[in-house]
């Protein structure tokens, strides 16, 4: 059983979903990003996704695009991202990287997988990598003991969902909507149906992301999913903050609200 599986199992034993928080590495600076993700963990986030900033973030909404641009302007490279992973992993929370496939491929699949393992990372989420083209990546992650996470979409047919589940090893990321990341007034009604469909094909934990931003929404999703993923809401809190200290307080407050939410389900 991997560290990710143990974390989901521990949450399940408490009668709740796991809370997963995302922030881009290097936003607003590398040191600040580590401190902010540590604040998330201190206030109830169970698993951390470290975003690898990319210059062409087609799947991301305005908040994460702006954060990635800030991180890149601050000189955040893939090596810096790995250093951030090490800093976040030191909190004790299982730490993954979420990245488009192109920067991983440019860095080198085995080099990146080895770097993740050496820096304490436990897995990688690749939202734009299709399972049909993931053979080399699967081999690299297997060799260095990393969990793989692929995305499942609401419009995917059953054979595609089955293939996604078969390729995943950590958990399955159920995208609640077709579209870019961002906070929304409500979570898509299709998310619960997608989770039910995925359960026919896997015993892995299933986490829902895209659109969750409040404790009430977290509670709603926790009623049917094993994990609740929140990203844009954390990023927006930092963008709106007037100082690093204020950002840490705001991120911590949101983490506490969401952590309470996943315990209400």
Would you say 153 and 193 are in contact if contact means Cβ atoms under 8 Å apart?
Answer: no
The side-by-side arrangement of strands in the sheet containing 172-175 is: 147-149, 123-125, 95-98, 47-51, 18-24, 227-230, 206-209, 172-175, 151-152
Would you say 261 and 217 are in contact if contact means Cβ atoms under 8 Å apart?
Answer: yes
Would you say 42 and 7 are in contact if contact means Cβ atoms under 8 Å apart?
Answer: no
Paired with 207 in beta bridges are: 173, 227
In the set 49, 83, 147, 226, the catalytic residue is 49
d(CA 182, CA 99): 17
Q: Per the structure block, which two tokens stand in for 67? A: 């954060």
Which one, of 118, 126, 201, lies nearest residue 159 by Cα?
201
Residue the block writes with tokens 């991997």 = 2
Please indicate whether residue 133 is annotated as part of the active site.
Answer: no
In the set 6, 14, 32, 60, the catalytic residue is 60
d(CA 24, CA 20): 14
Please indicate whether residue 147 is annotated as part of the active site.
Answer: no
Euclidean distance between the first and the last CA atom of the chain, given in angstroms as a whole number: 26
Catalytic residues: 49, 60
């Amino acid at each position: 059983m991997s560290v990710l599986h143990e974390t989901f199992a521990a949450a399940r034993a408490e009668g709740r979903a796991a809370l997963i928080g995302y922030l881009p590495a290097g936003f607003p600076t590398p040191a600040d990003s580590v401190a902010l993700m540590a604040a998330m963990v201190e206030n109830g986030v169970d698993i951390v996704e470290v975003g690898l900033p990319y210059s062409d973030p087609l799947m991301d909404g305005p908040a994460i695009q702006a954060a990635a641009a800030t991180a890149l302007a601050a000189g955040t490279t893939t090596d810096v991202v790995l250093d951030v992973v090490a800093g976040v992993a030191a909190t004790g929370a299982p730490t993954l990287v979420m990245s488009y496939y192109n920067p991983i491929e440019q860095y080198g699949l085995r080099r990146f997988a080895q770097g993740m393992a050496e820096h304490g990372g436990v897995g990688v989420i690749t939202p734009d990598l299709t399972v049909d083209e993931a053979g080399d990546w699967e081999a690299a992650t297997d060799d260095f003991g990393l969990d793989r996470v692929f995305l499942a979409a609401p419009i995917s047919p059953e054979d595609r969902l089955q293939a996604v589940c078969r390729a995943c090893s950590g958990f399955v990321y159920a995208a609640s909507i077709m579209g870019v990341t961002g906070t929304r007034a409500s979570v898509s009604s299709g998310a619960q149906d997608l989770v039910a469909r995925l359960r026919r094909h896997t015993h892995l934990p299933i986490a829902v992301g895209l659109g969750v931003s409040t404790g009430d929404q977290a509670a709603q999703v926790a009623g049917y999913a094993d994990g609740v993923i929140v990203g844009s809401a954390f990023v927006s809190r930092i963008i709106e903050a007037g100082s690093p200290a204020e950002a840490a307080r705001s991120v911590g407050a949101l983490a506490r609200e969401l952590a309470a939410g996943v315990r209400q389900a």
